[in-house]
């Protein structure tokens, strides 16, 4: 496994790879890697000749600077995991390497980028598009792998790809969960022991709502989920939206779309830690 900090050094290496007509897979990450990231890497190594994993804590997608400061940084452990996964290349650039000058580009792909996370975290998806477009330009991957936990992010990136003229195929990979149902996330490491004990309630209530939805309205299901999760003292639902799976716009009836998804963000604890998840009702 080779580690690159320089764009030019990585591109020179990939130039040789492409001369050999080998395919390149990319797994973009912000570090603090876990089994969910490992599943993306393993799929990439199966489907491509060469896999690049980027580790870059992208400041432009954090609308809350305190959140950026708290984000876990575990480079040594990350490289150990990636070596075990038989990754070919790790791209771990500095902020100056990625953004030698401030990135003033503006990306907006409504409604996918303006609802839910887009509304609650102004500028977040613009920052995501800035870094993903940079990585696609630098690496020019044949395929890029993203976890479905960040489901809305995938919808935005799918809009970004044709906009920037990229031919990269976006590969969606299933959520990896702990045995108790909590979706794997780098932020989980920030939870205290007592906070971690109550977080499975999120997926438990979402799962129970599937059966509840069979004979209840969209509004009733929304209330069921919110009240069920909020019943835990240290859990607080920021939003729970039941949306069309393509447009991400809210639905009022189960007949409004053949593809319906429930998307949730929950604050946990006193800090608090922000956790996201989703459940598919139709489609």
Phi-psi region of 170 (alpha: psi -120 to 50; beta: other; left: phi over 0): beta
Residues of the chain with CATH 3.40.50.620: 2-173
Tell whether residue 31 is among the known ligand binding residues.
Answer: yes
Tell whether residue 36 is among the known ligand binding residues.
Answer: yes
Burial of 277 (0-12, 13-18, 19+ CB in 10 A): buried
Which helix (H) or strand (E) element contains residue 154?
helix 151-163
In the predicted structure, residue 56 carries a pLDDT above the cut 90: yes
CA dist 159 and 109 (Å) reads: 7
| The pLDDT of residue 110 | 97
In the predicted structure, residue 162 carries a pLDDT above the cut 90: yes
| The pLDDT of residue 137 | 98
Tell whether residue 150 is among the known ligand binding residues.
Answer: yes
Neighbours of 87 (CB within 10 A): 24
Which residue among the candidates 37, 124, 216, 278 is catalytic per the annotation? 37
Q: Any catalytic annotation for residue 37? A: yes
CA dist 95 and 275 (Å) reads: 26
| The pLDDT of residue 35 | 96
Tell whether residue 184 is among the known ligand binding residues.
Answer: yes
Beta bridge partners of 2: 89
Tell whether residue 37 is among the known ligand binding residues.
Answer: yes
Q: Does domain 2-173 fall into CATH 3.40.640.10?
A: no
Which helix (H) or strand (E) element contains residue 275?
strand 273-282
CA dist 184 and 207 (Å) reads: 16
| The pLDDT of residue 31 | 97
Cβ-based neighbours of 27, under 8 Å, separated by 6 or more: 37, 40, 41, 44, 51, 52, 53, 54, 144, 145
> What is the DSSP pairing of strand 260-268 with strand 235-244?
antiparallel
Maximum alpha-carbon separation in the chain: 59
* Averaged pLDDT of the chain: 97
- Secondary structure class of 112 (helix, strand, coil): coil
Mean pLDDT of 81-109: 97
Tell whether residue 147 is among the known ligand binding residues.
Answer: yes
Which helix (H) or strand (E) element contains residue 197?
helix 193-198
Residues of the chain with CATH 3.30.1300.10: 186-282
Locate tokens 């599943």: which residue?
A: 39
In the predicted structure, residue 55 carries a pLDDT above the cut 90: yes
282 touches 209 (CB < 8 A): no
Beta bridge partners of 89: 2, 52
pLDDT band at 155 (very low <50, low <70, confident <90, very high): very high
CA dist 275 and 207 (Å) reads: 16
How many helices and strands, by DSSP H and E, does the chain display? 11, 9
- The DSSP line for 198-243 is HTHHHHHHHHHHHHHGGGS-HHHHHHHHHHHHHTSTTEEEEEEEEE
Tell whether residue 97 is among the known ligand binding residues.
Answer: no
Tell whether residue 149 is among the known ligand binding residues.
Answer: yes
Per-residue pLDDT reduced to its tens digit, 221-266: 999 999 999 999 999 999 999 999 999 999 999 999 999 999 999 9
- CATH classification code of 186-282: 3.30.1300.10
Which among 183, 117, 124, 180 is positioned nearest to 149, based on CA atoms? 183
| The pLDDT of residue 270 | 87
Tell whether residue 113 is among the known ligand binding residues.
Answer: no
- Evaluated on CA atoms 17, 19, 21, 24, the torsion sign reads positive
Question: Cα-flanking dihedrals φ and ψ of residue 143, to 5°?
Answer: -135, 145
Mean pLDDT of 153-179: 98
239 touches 266 (CB < 8 A): no
Of the listed ranges 59-68, 139-148, 210-219, 249-258, the one predicted with least confidence: 59-68
| The pLDDT of residue 271 | 87
């Amino acid at each position: 496994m080779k580690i690159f900090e320089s764009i030019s050094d990585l591109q020179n290496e990939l130039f040789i790879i492409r001369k050999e007509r080998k395919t390149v897979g990319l797994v973009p990450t912000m570090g603090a890697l876990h089994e969910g990231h490992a599943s993306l890497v393993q799929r990439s190594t199966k489907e491509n000749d060469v896999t690049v994993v980027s580790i870059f804590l992208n400041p432009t997608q954090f609308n809350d600077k305190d959140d950026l400061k708290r984000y876990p940084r575990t480079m040594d452990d990350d490289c150990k995991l990636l070596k075990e996964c038989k990754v070919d290349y790790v791209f771990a650039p500095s902020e100056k390497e990625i953004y030698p000058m401030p990135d003033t580009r503006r990306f907006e792909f409504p409604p996918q980028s303006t609802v839910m996370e887009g509304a609650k975290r102004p500028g977040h998806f613009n920052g995501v598009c800035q870094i993903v477009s940079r990585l696609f330009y630098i690496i020019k991957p044949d395929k890029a792998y993203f976890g479905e936990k960040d489901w809305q992010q995938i919808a935005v990136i799918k809009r970004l790809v044709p906009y920037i003229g990229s031919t990269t195929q976006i590969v969606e990979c299933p959520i990896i969960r702990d045995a108790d149902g909590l979706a794997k996330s780098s932020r989980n490491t920030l939870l205290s022991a007592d906070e971690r004990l109550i977080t499975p309630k999120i997926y438990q209530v979402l799962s129970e709502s599937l059966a509840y939805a069979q004979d209840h309205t969209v509004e009733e299901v929304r209330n069921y989920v919110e009240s069920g999760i909020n019943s835990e003292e240290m859990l607080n639902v920021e939003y729970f939206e039941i949306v069309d799976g393509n447009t991400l716009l809210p639905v009022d009836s189960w007949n409004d779309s053949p593809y319906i998804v429930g998307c949730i963000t929950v604050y946990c604890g006193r800090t608090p830690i922000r956790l996201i998840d989703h459940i598919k009702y139709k489609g």
